[in-house]
A and B are shown apart, each in its own frame.
Chain A
Amino acid sequence: MLSRAADAMFWMCRYAERAENVARFLDVSLQVMLDLPDPHGDPWAGVVAATGDEEGFSKRYGVATRDNVVRFLTVDHGSPNSIVSCLRYARDNARTIREAISSETWEQINKWYLLVNDAAAGGTTVENPYDFLAAMKEASHLFVGVTYLTMTHGEGWHFGRLGRLLERADQTSRIVDAKQGLNLLRPPDVGASLDEIHLSALLRSVSALEMYRRRYGRLDHSLVMTFLVLDKLFPRSIRHCLDKAKESLCAIVDTPSDSAGTRPERLLGRLVAEYEYALIDEIFDQGIHQHLDALQSKLNDVGAAIHETFFATRPDQVQEPLAEAAQ
C-alpha cells in the first residue's frame, strides 16, 4: 500500500485510541476526587502533571481547577491533547485515506468528530462531563469494532492496529505512572480502605476492575501492577498490547523466521521478550516510575523506526522496486 496511506492509517487509529484514553483518564480522576473525603494539597494540578503538558496548561489557564482541567482535556481546540483535538487529527488522517478505509469506518470517525465538535461548540460538557465521557468510550469501541468487522485484515488494517496498540501501551503506562507519581496509590499514613479506593479507581480507568477480580479477587498493589503491566490476556495490559502490536508488525513485513528482520521488528521484538519474562518484583526494584519512563522512551524508538522504515518519503530513501510490487 501507499506509504502515505499506511502512515495515515497508523495515526488515525493512534489518535482515536488517545481520545478514548483521555476520556478514561479524566473520568477516573473525577471519580477519585468525589471519593476523596478530605482533599488536601492540589489534586487537579496532579492530573495536569499526568498529561505531560503542564506548560501548555499553565499558559492557557494558570491555576488548575476542576473546570479548567476538564475543559483542557475535552473541548479545548487549543490544547493538542484534548479529546476534540485528538478527534480532529484522527479525522484529518481518515480524510486523506477515505478510499482505503471502509465507508463505515469513515462514517464512524466522522460522526464521532461531529459529536465532539458539537459538544465543543456549546452545551454543558464542562459542568457535566459524565455523559460526554461515556459517549467517547462508546464511540471509540464502535470505531474499533467497525474497523474490525468491515475492513480486510490486510496490511492497512494491521498498520492501524499497530498504531492503536502502541498508543494503548503508552497510555496505560502513563495512567499507571500518573497514579504512582501522585502518590495516590499507597499514601503512607492512610488506612487500607482509601488504598483500595485508589486501586479500584486505577483498575476502573482501564476497565480492568471486574477482570482483575476474576483473576485475583482481593485488591493488592503488587497484583494490580502485575495485572496492568504483565498480564498476557487483558486487552489493556502493557504486555498484551506489545504482543499484539508485534503480531501486526509481523503480518505487515512477512519476514522469514530465520531472519532478524527490519529495525522496528528488532526493537519491538526485544521489548516483547523483556515483558514475557519479567517479574513484577524486578520492576519494583528498578522503580516503577523509572521503568515506565524507560518503556515510553523505547516505544518512541519503535514509533520512529516504523516511520523510517515504512512512511518516510524522502526521495533519497526510495527503495528499489520489488519485483512483486511492480506487477
Chain B
Amino acid sequence: MDFATYEPGPFFDEMFDPERRPRAGCDLLARTMADLPPGDISHRQNAAERALLHMGITFNVYGHDHGTEKILPFDLVPRVVSAKEWATLERGLVQRTRALNLFIDDIYHKQRVISDGIIPREIVESASSYLPGCKDLDPPQRVWCHINGTDLVRHSDGKYYVLEDNLRCPSGVSYVLHNRQVMKRTFPNVLQASRVRPVDSYPSELLRVLQYVCPRGVATPNVVVLTPGPYNSAYSEHSFLAQQMGVELVVAKDLVIRDGFVWMRTTRGLARVDVIYRRIDDTFLDPKVFRKDSMLGIPGIMSVVRAGRVALANAPGTGVADDKVVYAYVPAIIKYYLGEDAILPIVPTYVCHDEKQRTYVLANLDKLVVKAANESGGYGMLMGPQASVAEREAFAGHIKANPRNYIAQPLLGLSRVPTLLGDGNVLEGRHVDLRPYVLHGQDIFVLPGGLTRVALKKGSFVVNSSQGGGSKDTWVLADDASPKDAAC
C-alpha cells in the first residue's frame, strides 16, 4: 500500500493535510496501511465483505427475485474525527436536538414561535410533514424526537455544516455497529492504539430512552419495535435493533387495540404494549387518522397515543422540524428557545417562498444546488453547476409553479477520505458526509461515532446508498495525543 501517489486534491481531506502529512490521529493508521504488503489490503477487504454477507447485514433491492439482498459497499479506510472536533460537534448536536424538540412541542400547542414572528405560519402549515392531527398531543416526558440522525458535511473551508435533520425514522445506525465489528477483526491493533471510542452502547442507550418515555404508572414497560416487514429495505436494521435490545419485533398484524390499550398477540393470549419504537412513517401509522390506504398501520392507535396509554418513538408529527424550508429557520429557532447562538452552522439557504430570494435563485441556477422540500434519498435535486441547460430550465419551471417546495444552497465541496479502488491497491479521495445519531431521553446522548457515507463514483457528491454510495467506519478519538506504534 502506497500513499506516495495519493493526491489530497483541492478538497478538505480527512486523513492528510495539503502537504500529504497525516492529520492528528491519522498518523498510526496511515503508517500501518503503508506498511502492509501488496495484496494484503484487498485480502482484508474481501474478508470484511464476506463477514458482512454472513452476518446478513444487507439491504433489500426491490424488484429482484433471487439474491434480493445486497451488502452496502464497505470501505476499509476509516474516517477519523479528532477528540477536539467531536467535542464541538457533540455540543452542537445536543443544542440543536433540544431546540428542535421544544419547537415541535410548541408547534403542536401554543405556536408562540409563530406569533412571536420567528417563522411564518404559512411555512409551517404548508409543510407536508406538518400533521394537524397531532395538535395538543402530549407525548410522555414531552419528548417528541427521541431518535435523530443529523447529516453533517465538511466544506473546503474545513468547517462542519448541518446538511439536514432526520427526525422521523432515521436509519443506518446498525451499519455503524456492524462496521465497527468488522474493523475490529480487520485492524484490531490500530483501532486499540488509536484510542477509538466504542459505539457498542447504542442499543442499551436506545432501550433506556424507550423505557424512560413509557406511559405513567407502568413499572416494567413492554417495549417493541414496529417494522413494515421483511420486505422493507431497512428490515435487517429493525430486527437487529430489536435483537440487541432484547425486545419483540412486531408487524402491524401482531398488534390489536382493545379496551383503549395496544396489545400484541402471543402464544398465551394478548400482552400489553407500552412503548413502540416505530420504523414506519407517520402517515402510515393509523389509517383512521392519516392515510386511509395504509396496510402497515394499526387502526385506532392514535387515540391510544392521545390518551397517553402507549408511547410512540419518534412521536408522530416530528417531521415538521426536518422540512427543508424550516431548516433555514433553525438558527433562529435555537436562539428563540435557548437564547444561544447555534454552535453548528447551517448551509446558507435561499427560501424560494420568499420573492427576493427566489429571484436570486432563478438568476443563479448554474451556481446553486436546488432541493425539493419533501424529497430525500438524493431524489428531487438539481446540481446546478453540473446540470445541463435543459435540466436547469425544467427546474426553474418547477420552482415557479410551487415555490414553497424549493430551497437552494451553494454547492459545498464535501470533504474526502482515501478510498480503496479496484483490486484494493489504489487509493483515491472520495467525498463523504457524516450522520451522527442523537438520542433524546432524560438527557441527550450523542453516539461517539456515526455513519460515514461515501460517494464511490469518482467526483460524485451523492452519498446515498440508493445512488451508488457506500459506507466507512467512523473513528471518534478519545484523545488526540499521537499513539504509540502498533503491530497490525
Q: Which A residues have a C-beta under 8 Å from some C-beta of B?
A: 1-6, 77, 92, 95-100, 103, 106-107, 110-111, 114, 117, 155, 159, 252, 310, 313, 315, 318-322, 324-327
Contacts and interface: CB of A to CB of B under 8 A. Distances in A.
B225 interface: yes
A14 B263 CA distance: 29
A325 B272 CA distance: 8
Nearest to B65: A77
A321 B254 contact: no
B468 to A, nearest CB: 24
A322 B266 CA distance: 10
Contacts of B247: 99
Interface in B270-307: 270-272
B250 interface: yes
Given A92-B230, A98-B240, A321 B66 contact: no
B191 interface: no
A324 B271 CA distance: 9
A310 B267 contact: yes
B55, B239, B247 — most chain A CB neighbours (10 Å): B239
A148 B249 CA distance: 22
A98 B239 contact: yes
Contacts of A313: 253-254, 265
B56 interface: yes
B254 A3 contact: yes
A260 to B, nearest CB: 19
Closest 10 CB pairs of A and B: A99-B242, A99-B243, A98-B239, A321-B270, A319-B269, A322-B269, A325-B271, A99-B249, A310-B267, A110-B56
B54 to A, nearest CB: 6
Contacts of A252: 267
B242 A321 contact: no
Interface string B64-75: 001100000000
B248 A320 contact: no
Interface string B447-470: 000000000000000000000000
28 contacts: A1-B248, A5-B248, A77-B66, A92-B230, A95-B230, A95-B235, A96-B230, A98-B56, A98-B239, A98-B243, A98-B249, A99-B225, A99-B239, A99-B242, A107-B54, A107-B55, A110-B55, A111-B54, A117-B66, A313-B254, A318-B265, A321-B271, A321-B272, A325-B266, A325-B268, A325-B269, A326-B270, A327-B220
A92 B60 CA distance: 13
Nearest to A102: B243
A97 B230 CA distance: 10
Given A2-B248, A252-B267, A106 B254 contact: no
Contacts of A106: 56
B301 to A, nearest CB: 15
A90 to B, nearest CB: 13
B205 to A, nearest CB: 18
B264 interface: yes
Contact of B67 (A97, A117, A155, A159): A117
A327 B220 CA distance: 8
B267 A6 contact: yes
B30 interface: no
Residues of B in contact with A, size category? 35 or more
A206 to B, nearest CB: 30
B28 interface: no
B396 to A, nearest CB: 46
B266 A1 contact: yes
Given A97-B239, A106-B56, A327-B220, 12 more contacts: A1-B266, A1-B267, A2-B265, A3-B265, A4-B265, A98-B243, A99-B247, A99-B248, A107-B54, A110-B55, A325-B266, A325-B271
A325 B54 CA distance: 36
A323 to B, nearest CB: 9
A322 B271 CA distance: 8
A209 to B, nearest CB: 34
A136 B266 CA distance: 33
Interface string B213-232: 00000001000010001100
A96 B243 CA distance: 12
Contact of A110 (B54, B225, B249, B265): B54
B368 interface: no
B394 interface: no
B251 interface: yes
Contacts of B250: 2
A310 to B, nearest CB: 5
Contacts of A107: 54-56
Contacts of A155: 267
A325 B243 CA distance: 20
A77 B265 CA distance: 34
A319 B270 contact: yes
A98 B271 CA distance: 21
A6 B264 CA distance: 13
A4 B220 CA distance: 23
B256 interface: yes
B34 interface: no
Given A96-B230, A326-B272, A327-B220, A4 B253 contact: yes
Contact of B270 (A98, A99, A117, A325): A325
Interface string B132-156: 0000000000000000000000000
B387 interface: no
Contacts of A159: 267
B488 interface: no
Nearest to B247: A99
B36 interface: no
Nearest to A4: B254
Nearest to A5: B248
Interface string B115-133: 0000000000000000000
A221 B248 CA distance: 51
Contacts of A4: 251, 253-254, 265
Contacts of A117: 66-67
A110 B57 CA distance: 11
Contacts of A2: 248, 250, 254, 264-267
A104 B185 CA distance: 17
B53 interface: yes
Nearest to A93: B230
A326 B266 CA distance: 11
Contacts of B258: 318, 321
A4, A96, A117, A324 — most chain B CB neighbours (10 Å): A4
Contacts of B229: 96
Contacts of A6: 267
Contacts of A110: 54-56
B235 to A, nearest CB: 8
A131 to B, nearest CB: 21
B55 A103 contact: yes
Nearest to B56: A110
Contact of A3 (B54, B235, B242, B267): B267
Contacts of A111: 54
Nearest to A320: B269
A327 B265 CA distance: 14
B257 to A, nearest CB: 11
A155 B263 CA distance: 19
